[in-house]
Amino acid sequence: MTNFFESDLSEVDPIVREAIDNEVRRQADGLELIASENFVSEAVLQAMGSVFTNKYAEGYPRKRYYGGCEFADVVEQLAIDRAKEIFGAEHANVQPHSGSQANTAVYLSAIEHGAKILGMDLSHGGHLTHGHPLNFSGLSYDVASYGVSKEDERIDYDELQSIAEKERPKMIVCGASAYPRIIDFERIGEIARSVGAVVMADIAHIAGLVAAGLHPSPVEHCEFVTTTTHKTLRGPRGGLILCREDSKKTVDRNVFPGIQGGPLVHIIAAKAVAFGEALEEDFKIYQQQILDNARALADELRDQGLRLVSGGTDNHLVLVDVYMDGKGITGKKAEKVLDEVHLTVNKNTIPFDTQKPFVASGIRLGTPALTTRGMKQDEMRTVGKMIAEVVQDSDSEETKAKVSREVRELTAKFPMYPKRYKSGKTEGISAS
């Protein structure tokens, strides 16, 4: 009988082994342009796959409900300290399993059930947890919303002030999942204080840019800041809450035991590794390249005749109107045909969209993952040309075959995970 601790995935579960191999191959041989996705380092992968997955550690460092947590305390305290240093925050809770759970804990900490919140409309670039009627936020709170202006597709802060004065929310939620422009957290903080509200800034998409000082930080201006730890921050999938010292106990209590039991210690260890990477000087260089790449991609798409929401981008994200009042194709079709040539994007609504969300008029693009692979502006211009060519000639099999070849040629120049993917074959997944 095989030793349990020496079991090999290929023998134990070949179906899962094959799925992992295929996913490694898909990521390596395609161009990942989904703005909320990125690639973690080998070091982060190793921490995620460590024996910390075996450990229950309910509670917080030095205040656990179980024994044997001395090394769990090391990695969690390290993650906390590094997160505070990165963002200049008074307190950090690194236990949320996701960005949505981080937001849930803040709602519970900041306002009463049923209180009024003012969040950015999902169709204008917000997030489900900012008050969508089908989400817990919309089901649990009285929601008012704000969005972008029709004229320039940017947040109108004067209009936001007017809405806040009319609605008198207890909390303003800012941050976005599909907004390509700088967010003025200082102005939003001023608006909130003028109506007696607190602010939760959800920086899930731009956390890496904030960490590198390339986007204004909300920490000084907002009582609560939440983020995912993947996306531009380039860590494992998970959540993070930053708050002021006077909210520390309330936030911690509402994470555990409020909404979660035992933390995922292996993920917290991986967060600590990623936060350590974010404190290195080359992380700032990487984040600047994300911005440079996004602008190069946006410029090329515009030059190729596609319409960009708000006219361009200030961050990692480009929102493209591919429908163009019926002259183009839907976001749903664009996502499908681009996927056929190994250009991975997601359909996305655009402000004042006339299409249903599952059809949509736009696609959302982002540059973090391709930047992680080492691509720069020249490659972004090439990618922009390929996207436009497929979108504008979406029924041509000849065009799709041509672009598919070009994608494979480009990806071959920027290999991923060399220890795991060699000459078209995936290697072992266990940490060495």
389 labelled catalytic:
no
Within 91-199, residue ranges assigned H as helices are: 99-110, 136-140, 157-167, 185-194
**DSSP annotation of 51:** G
228 labelled catalytic:
yes
Among 129, 228, 371, 372, which one carries the catalytic annotation?
228
237 labelled catalytic:
yes
226 labelled catalytic:
no
26 labelled catalytic:
no
Instruction: Give, in order, the Cα–Cα distances in Å from 260 to each of 99, 115, 253.
Output: 13, 23, 10
Element spanning 195, H or E: none
Match 């960490």 to its residue by tokens: 211
Among 17, 25, 37, 58, which one carries the catalytic annotation?
58
Match 């078209």 to its residue by tokens: 424
DSSP bridge partners of 143: 117
The beta strands (E) that lie in 355-410 are given as: 362-366
Among 237, 271, 381, 400, which one carries the catalytic annotation?
237
Q: Contact 300/364 with Cβ under 8 angstroms?
A: no
Among 17, 56, 81, 156, which one carries the catalytic annotation?
56
Q: How far is CA 212 from the centre of its chain?
A: 16
**DSSP annotation of 374:** T
Phi-psi sector, 384: left (phi>0), alpha (psi -120 to 50), beta: alpha
82 labelled catalytic:
no
Among 231, 234, 333, 381, which one carries the catalytic annotation?
231
What is the C-alpha separation between 101 and 226, in angstroms, rounded? 10
Q: CA-based diameter of the chain, in Å? A: 72
Task: Give the Cβ contact number of residue 26 at 10 Å.
Answer: 12
Query: Collapsing DSSP states into helix, strand and coil, what is residue 308?
Result: strand
367 phi/psi in degrees, rounded to 5: -110, 0
What is the C-alpha separation between 151 and 100, in angstroms, rounded? 31
Among 21, 153, 167, 202, which one carries the catalytic annotation?
202
* Catalytic residue annotation: 56, 58, 202, 228, 231, 237
